[in-house]
Structure 1
Amino acid sequence: MTSRLFSLIPCAGTGSRSGAPMPKQYQTIAGRPMLAYTLAAFDACSEFSQTLVVLAPDDNHFDARRFAGLRFAVERCGGASRQASVYNGLVALAKFGAREDDWVLVHDAARPGITPELIRKLVAELRDDAVGGILALPVADTLKRVAPNMPDVPTDDVRVARTESRDGLWQAQTPQMFRLGMLREAIERARHDGHDLTDEASAIEWLGHSPKLVQGSLRNFKVTYPEDFALAGAMLSAGA
C-alpha cells in the first residue's frame, strides 16, 4: 500500500521572545494571521491526506473563521514543550487514518514563508528515502560563542568568548519529514532518556539515523524577535 502524506503544525507555543501581545502564530502579517500562510501552503498541496494543527488545551486566541476555506483539522492536545506537542499530534493523527509507515511533515507555524514549491521539493527528495530529512541552509555567517554565564537573548553587555567554525554546519528549517512510526518511536526514546529535543531530526538522530538535508530557502525563516514581523510582512507583501 502506498504511503500517504500528512502535515502536522504544532501551534501550542506562546512565542515569548517575539514581544507580541498574543501567541505570534495569530499575529497579523500583511493582512493575514501568520498561521494562515502555512495552512495555505499545505492546502495548495492536494496530495496531502490531512493537515493537523495542534493547539494548547486552553488556547483562547484561535478562531477558525480567520482560516475559512483552508483544509485542516484541529486537536487541542498541545503539551508543555514542542516535543510533547508533536508527539501528541502524531498520536492524534491516527484518528485521521494515518499509519505507521505514512509520511508526516512537521512545520513551524512561525515560518510563514513556506511555499507549496518548497514542500513538494522536500517530498520529491525524500519520498523513497529510508530515513527522511529536513529543509536546511548552509550556515553563511561567522558564528560567535558567548561565555557560559551570558544570556541567549541580547542585552547591553553580551561579549564574545570565541569564534566557532561554520565548516560543515547547516541551519535547520521545517518542514521536517519522517515516517510517523519512526518519529514517534524516536521521541519516546528521547523522552525515556530524559531529553527534550528542539526538532524532529534531533529525535531521529537519537535513534542512530542520519536525516537527509534538502536545500531550503531564506524566505522560510522563523519569526522569532519583534523586528522579524516587519521583515516577514515586507517579504509576504512583495510575494518574494
Structure 2
Amino acid sequence: MVVANKSDLSFCRTLLNSYPLTKLAGIAAGGETRQESVAAGLDALPQDCGLVVVHDGARPLLSQGVLEGAIQQAVVDGAVVVAVPVKDTVKVVENEEIKGTPERSSLWIAQTPQVFHRSLLKEALDAARASGFTGTDDASLVERLGHQVKIHPGANENIKITTPEDLFIARAILGLRTDERVEKRTGLGYDVHPFCQGRPLFLGGVEIPEGPGLSGHSDGDVLLHALTDACLGAAGLPDIGHYFPPSDPRWEGASSLALLGIARGILAKEGFRIVQVDLVVAVEKPRLAPYLEEMRGRIAAVLGILPSAVGIKATTTEGLGFVGRGEGVACWAVATVCG
C-alpha cells in the first residue's frame, strides 16, 4: 500500500500502474504527519493482513536480506525495528553547550522497515491519537504501550535520502559513479501544443492557474513531452509516442511527470543515466518566471539529479508566429545521459 501526499496521487497512480506490480494493494492519501500517514495506510490495507511492514520511500536501497530477516523476527517478537549501531561519538547539546556524552555502545540508529503485528500497531496508533502524542517513528508509539521492541541488524547502505548530497552517496552505493571513460550522449526534443479551453495548464509538472490548458497527450505538458523525447533520443530509443501512444486509454489525462519517471526507468534498463537537462519554453502568456524554480525542483526529483543540473528558460517570440499570436506553447529540450 503506497501512501502519498494528496497532491501526488495522480502522479503515483500513473507511475505505479505502468509496472506489473502484483502485490500492490492500492494507493492511499497520507496525512499532515508521518504518524497520520501510517494510520491511513494501515486502515487501507486488506483486513486479512496480519503483519505490517512500514518502510520509508526515502530509503530505496533496502536489501532483500534485511527485509526478510526483520519480517521473520517480527513473526515471533511482534515488534521489530531495523537499526545500525552508532559509529560516531554523540553529544547532548543545549544552547550550543555540551551537556553530556552518552555511552556509544548502547546507541543505535533506527531505520526502516519497522515491522509489527497489525493489531499491536493499530492499538499504538489509537492510543497516541487519543493522548495527542506524536512520535518520531512507529516504534516509539509501540514502546509507549510498554511492549518490547526488538532490534534487527540493518545495513549502513540503507541510507535515508534527505538532502541533495545523499544522492551522490546513493549513486556510489549503486555503483553508478561515473568517470572520464563513461560514454556521454546528448538528445534533442521539440514539441508544440495549442491552447485548449476547459483544461488545467500544466508546464514542467506545475499546475499554473492562469491557464487555459494545452491540448494533446496525457495532461498536455508540452515542456515535459519535449524533455521526455530528448532523454529517449539521447539513448537512441523511440519517441514518447512509441511508449505512451495517445490511443492507449491508460495515458489519457496522465501526469507527464509520471511519464518522465517511467522514461527514466526505460533508460536505466538500457544502461543509461540522465545527468543534465536544459529547456527553453516559448509562450506569450502566462508569465512563467514565478514557476520556474518549482518546475526545476520537480523535474530534478523525478530524474534523480540536482536542481542545478536542470536549466529552464522562458521566452516569447515577440509577437511572431503561432506562439506570438497566443495560440499555443513551444518547447525545446536537450538532455545529456551517461551509459
With the length of structure 1 as denominator, give the TM-score of the two structures: 0.66
Shift in Å, 1:126: 2.5
The counterpart of 1:98, out of the listed 38, 44, 48, is 48
Between the aligned partners of 2:21 and 2:127, the Cα distance in structure 1 is 35
Alignment match, 1:23: none
Alignment match, 2:20: 69
Shift in Å, 1:60: 5.9
Contact 1:144 1:160 in 2 (8 A): no
Alignment match, 1:181: 119
Shift in Å, 1:120: 0.9
Contact 2:114 2:139 in 1 (8 A): yes
Shift in Å, 1:228: 0.5
Alignment match, 1:152: none
Task: Spell out the pairing of 1:19-30 with structure 2 (5 A cutoff).
Answer: none
Q: Work out whether 1:235 is the aligned partner of 2:173.
A: yes
| Unpaired stretches in structure 2, ≥5 consecutive residues | 178-339
Opposite residue 135 of structure 1, the aligned amino acid is V
Between the aligned partners of 1:162 and 1:219, the Cα distance in structure 2 is 31
Q: SS where residue 58 of structure 1 aligns? A: helix
Q: Deviations over 1:146-173 (max 9, x none)?
A: 324xxxxxxxxxx452442123111111
Between the aligned partners of 1:88 and 1:189, the Cα distance in structure 2 is 15
Shift in Å, 1:116: 1.4
Between the aligned partners of 1:66 and 1:189, the Cα distance in structure 2 is 35
Contact 1:137 1:171 in 2 (8 A): yes
Shift in Å, 1:225: 1.8
Q: SS where residue 133 of structure 1 aligns? A: strand
Task: Spell out the pairing of 1:74-89 with structure 2 (5 A cutoff).
Answer: 74-89=26-41
Task: Specify whether residues 97 and 191 from structure 1 end up closer, same or farther in structure 2 by C-alpha distance, changes over 3 A only.
Answer: closer
Q: Deviations over 1:65-117 (max 9, x none)?
A: 54413332333321000000001111111xx2335xx1100001001110211
Task: Specify whether residues 61 and 235 from structure 1 end up closer, same or farther in structure 2 by C-alpha distance, changes over 3 A only.
Answer: farther
Shift in Å, 1:140: 1.5
Opposite residue 175 of structure 2, the aligned amino acid is S
Contact 1:55 1:77 in 2 (8 A): yes
Alignment match, 1:161: 98
Contact 1:144 1:162 in 2 (8 A): yes
Alignment match, 1:146: 93
Opposite residue 134 of structure 1, the aligned amino acid is V
Opposite residue 183 of structure 1, the aligned amino acid is L
Task: Compute the RMSD of aligned alpha carbons.
Answer: 2.1
Contact 1:56 1:79 in 2 (8 A): yes
Q: SS where residue 73 of structure 1 aligns? A: coil
Opposite residue 78 of structure 1, the aligned amino acid is G
Between the aligned partners of 2:155 and 2:8, the Cα distance in structure 1 is 31
Between the aligned partners of 1:90 and 1:106, the Cα distance in structure 2 is 9
| Unpaired stretches in structure 1, ≥5 consecutive residues | 1-51, 149-158
Which of the two has higher C-alpha Rg?
2
Contact 1:135 1:214 in 2 (8 A): yes
Shift in Å, 1:61: 7.0
Q: Deviations over 1:139-196 (max 9, x none)?
A: 1211123324xxxxxxxxxx45244212311111111110111101101111211211
The alignment covers a number of residue pairs equal to 173
Q: Percent identity?
A: 38
With the length of structure 2 as denominator, give the TM-score of the two structures: 0.48
